[in-house]
């Protein structure tokens, strides 16, 4: 990863359309995205710099972490997105409880209003982090549409959470005696449903849809050209038929 590396031309050409490195770790990008199965490292010895200044600043270290996150997304796809979604959701619980405590203790706000305000702030926190990190590929899309869509998906997830828990508590013998377990199942169901809405609707990657549309249009043009060529050949055969 020192910056001097070699690989087969075919491997490099196979990754040209997917290369999107951050910082200077292009070698790591190529290893991951080309699917190299045989990596050999040649040891080198670093010496103290005699001239100039190192470019390895705090910004470059942050870029390196972002690069690792991006490669994690590339390698694990939906599992990577779901893991980040759940982790950010956990941080939202902390924000929710902290804000609720702050509003109650320091500002003496009424419980109902303080609870609603804390939930709104936690949801806004989750939205911001998911937009910047989990689904960073669409952070340049319309903010208001995504914000309203995210709140709608959270509302739908809450409905799934509530309905699942209540149904289990009322109709399943095991959960009638273990209501906390029913609540846990409801939370899991609501989280998964909320994630699916966010992944495929709220933060949908428009580039994939555009690429599909372009490919479909290209296919249709090619099919039309082939049909025209076939028809033209048939006409020529008819004209030359004695």
Q: Which of 20-24, 98-102, 212-216, 221-225 is predicted most confidently?
A: 98-102
Contact (Cβ atoms closer than 8 angstroms) between residue 33 and residue 13: no
Instruction: Give the per-residue pLDDT at 219.
Output: 39
pLDDT in tens, 73-83: 888 888 999 99
DSSP sequence for 147-168: HHHHHHHHHHHHHHHHHHHHHH
Question: How much is the pTM?
Answer: 0.73
Contact (Cβ atoms closer than 8 angstroms) between residue 134 and residue 84: yes
Say how far apart CA 25 and CA 28 lie, in whole Å.
5
pLDDT at 24 over 60: yes
Instruction: Give the per-residue pLDDT at 207.
Output: 57
Instruction: Name the burial class of residue 168, with classes exposed (0-12), middle (13-18) and buried (19+) by CB atoms within 10 angstroms of its CB.
Output: buried
Q: What percent of the chain has pLDDT over 90?
A: 31
């Amino acid at each position: 990863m020192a910056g001097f590396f070699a690989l087969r031309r075919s491997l490099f050409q196979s990754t040209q359309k997917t290369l999107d490195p951050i910082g200077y770790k292009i070698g790591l990008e190529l290893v991951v995205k080309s699917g190299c199965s045989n990596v050999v490292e040649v040891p080198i010895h670093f010496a103290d710099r005699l001239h100039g200044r190192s470019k390895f600043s705090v910004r470059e270290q942050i870029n390196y972490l972002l690069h690792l996150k991006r490669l994690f997304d590339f390698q694990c796809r939906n599992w990577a997105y779901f893991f980040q979604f759940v982790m950010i959701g956990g941080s939202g619980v902390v924000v929710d409880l902290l804000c609720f405590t702050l509003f109650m203790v320091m500002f003496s706000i009424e419980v109902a209003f303080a609870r609603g305000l804390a939930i709104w702030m936690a949801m806004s926190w989750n939205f911001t982090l998911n937009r910047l990190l989990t689904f960073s590929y669409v952070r340049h899309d319309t903010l208001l549409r995504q914000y309203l869509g995210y709140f709608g998906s959270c509302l739908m997830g809450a409905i799934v959470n509530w309905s699942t828990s209540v149904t289990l508590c009322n109709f399943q013998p095991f959960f009638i005696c273990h209501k906390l377990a029913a609540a846990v199942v409801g939370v899991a169901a609501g989280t998964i449903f909320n994630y699916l809405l966010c992944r495929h609707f709220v933060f949908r990657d428009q580039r994939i849809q555009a690429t599909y549309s372009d490919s479909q249009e290209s296919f249709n043009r090619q099919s039309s050209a082939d049909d025209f060529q076939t028809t033209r050949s048939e006409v020529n055969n008819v004209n030359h038929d004695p």
